[in-house]
Amino acid sequence: MSSVVHVIELRELTKRYGGRTAVDELSFRVQPGVVTGFLGPNGSGKSTTMRMILGLDAPDHGEALIDGIRYPELTWPLRTVGALLDAGAFHPGRSARAHLGALAAGNDISSSRVEQVLGIVGLSDVAARRAGTYSLGMRQRLGVAVALLGDPGILLLDEPVNGLDPEGIRWIRDLLRGLAAEGRTVFVSSHLIAEMALTADRLVVIGQGRLLAETTVAELAATDDNLEDAFFRLTSQTTDYRGRTAS
């Protein structure tokens, strides 16, 4: 077994698109054993940050490290970090089984593990179907299967509950908490503060690409009447688009 403690560390991570700074000198650490929620309004830079951690987008400044090294330097990336980036990251003409099988082959993961994760996410019966025919909920489950494929110590999930029905949301919540309880590092983004309150232990809150708070759910809730008010107060200066209250 590996004695490595799985940590994600961001050091002044920065991404600019043209003149706009999407992620602005973001520095924080994500620890194992708990679910860390990555919270921020729409457009606050959560997805960009996640893509930079995975080496998909190159930072303009700073770095994101997995156990001290950059993602592309990992020996077997899928066995160290499992990621759900968006529910559409598959070819619609390919079956779930072939999709998982191809990615498994890319990291020398056994085909028995493919069947195992299909079972975990409840897609075994439809695994031979073209993934393009799946409902949004089934697509999310396929994405979760990809994340679990390499039995990784670190899980990175971008808005995993999007499009899921209440039962699916509870399933994700229990799954993530279970994975964290096993000692894994679970980093999950959301713009839904209420959902994060139920799922996460720790919170990293960002707005306009900047770190606003690194805290726990309990600490943040204690700063205002309730967690939602506390979140709005924290992010009020950084929300890009807001409707006016009807009067």
Interaction site with another protein (CB under 8 A): 1-2, 32, 51, 54-58, 71-72, 74-79, 81, 83, 85-86, 88-95, 98-99, 101-103, 105-110, 146, 151, 153, 181-184
State in angstroms the smallest separation of the CB of 57 from another protein.
4
Q: Output 79 or 210, the one with its CB closest to another protein.
A: 79
Residue 213's closest CA among 205, 221, 201? 205
Residue 98's closest CA among 40, 163, 33, 142? 142
Q: Output 78 or 175, the one with its CB closest to another protein.
A: 78
User: What gap in Å lies between CA 49 and CA 22, rounded to an integer?
Assistant: 9
Q: Output 144 or 220, the one with its CB closest to another protein.
A: 144
State in angstroms the smallest separation of the CB of 2 from another protein.
4
Q: Specify whether the CB–CB gap between 40 and 209 falls below 8 A.
A: no
State in angstroms the smallest separation of the CB of 6 from another protein.
8
Write phi, then psi, for 172 (nearest 5 degrees).
-60, -45
- What one-character DSSP code corresponds to residue 108? T
State in angstroms the smallest separation of the CB of 236 from another protein.
31
State in angstroms the smallest separation of the CB of 150 from another protein.
8
Sheet holding 154-158, edge to edge: 81-84, 154-158, 185-190, 35-39, 202-207, 210-216
Q: Output 96 or 193, the one with its CB closest to another protein.
A: 96
User: What gap in Å lies between CA 190 and CA 42, rounded to an integer?
Assistant: 9
Report helix, strand or coil for 200: coil
Q: Output 85 or 227, the one with its CB closest to another protein.
A: 85
Q: Specify whether the CB–CB gap between 188 and 43 falls below 8 A.
A: no
- Run of H or E residues at 15: strand 8-17
Q: Output 99 or 191, the one with its CB closest to another protein.
A: 99
Write down the residue that tokens 């943040």 correspond to.
Answer: 220
State in angstroms the smallest separation of the CB of 208 from another protein.
20
Write phi, then psi, for 216 (nearest 5 degrees).
-115, 165
